[in-house]
Structure 1
């Protein structure tokens, strides 16, 4: 398990509930890191369950915050090739109280979760083991 604490901007918030009624949020999060050519902004799909999901949902549009969790790598087999899909599983989210209005410009479309990430999430929700989405902190 690759654990991480990182500052992210939540670009999309989709929600569902598991069999027990716990809120699950998922979508796209944006983060930045320093590469050889300077600052690089990248995206990763995320999911959260329980308290972090409620925090993300209640933070408003394009919230910036600190996410604590781990990177989950899943193998997606499609049409004869294997692709590793990384998902940030958020086990704690603290909003910094800032939103980034420059991301939500007039006429911008809301980011949607890619189809393969949606399918993987649905597989995890429907499976009997919810180990990855537990409410128990580290």
Structure 2
């Protein structure tokens, strides 16, 4: 069993119930990792039962959260070969309460430095250039 904690985006939420009436949610989750070419976004199927399923259902689709669980490898036999399919079994889910659209900001807001702070910065730069800097750190 490969245990994992990951930040995921729940792309789709499907639900059903078992024979005892416990809620089961399943669908596609999106996660990211760093590859040799930079950040890579990938998808994995997931399933959850009980309290994590209720948390996922309440957060809805396109919601981001922290999933705790394990990777389940299922073997499918197709026309003479075996295919291993990975699925994330979520045992705990903490929603961040925000959808991915709320987290992504398209406008760049550049904050301006106040005049008094700019003057202090310029004074510190000009006063430091007159003094010699010590090789020994102050701390």
Is TM (by shorter chain) over 0.5? Answer: yes
Q: CA deviation at 1:9?
A: 0.2
Aligned: 1:69 with 2:69:
yes
Alignment correspondent of 1:44: 44
- Cα-to-partner distance string for 1:78-117 (whole Å, 9 max, x where unaligned): 1211100000000000001110128xxxxxxxxxxxxxxx
Q: TM-score, normalised by structure 1?
A: 0.72
Higher mean alpha-carbon deviation, 76-85 vs 63-72, is at 76-85
Structure 1 unmatched ranges of 5 or more = 103-138
Contact 2:10 2:60 in 1 (8 A): no
Alignment correspondent of 2:30: 30
| Structure of higher CA gyration radius | 2
Alignment correspondent of 1:120: none
Q: TM-score, normalised by structure 2?
A: 0.72
Q: Which has the higher contact order (CA 8 A, sep 6+)?
A: 1
Aligned length: 102
- Cα-to-partner distance string for 1:23-61 (whole Å, 9 max, x where unaligned): 000000000000000000000000000000000000023
Q: CA RMSD in A?
A: 1.0
Partners of 1:50 and 1:66 lie apart in 2 by 16
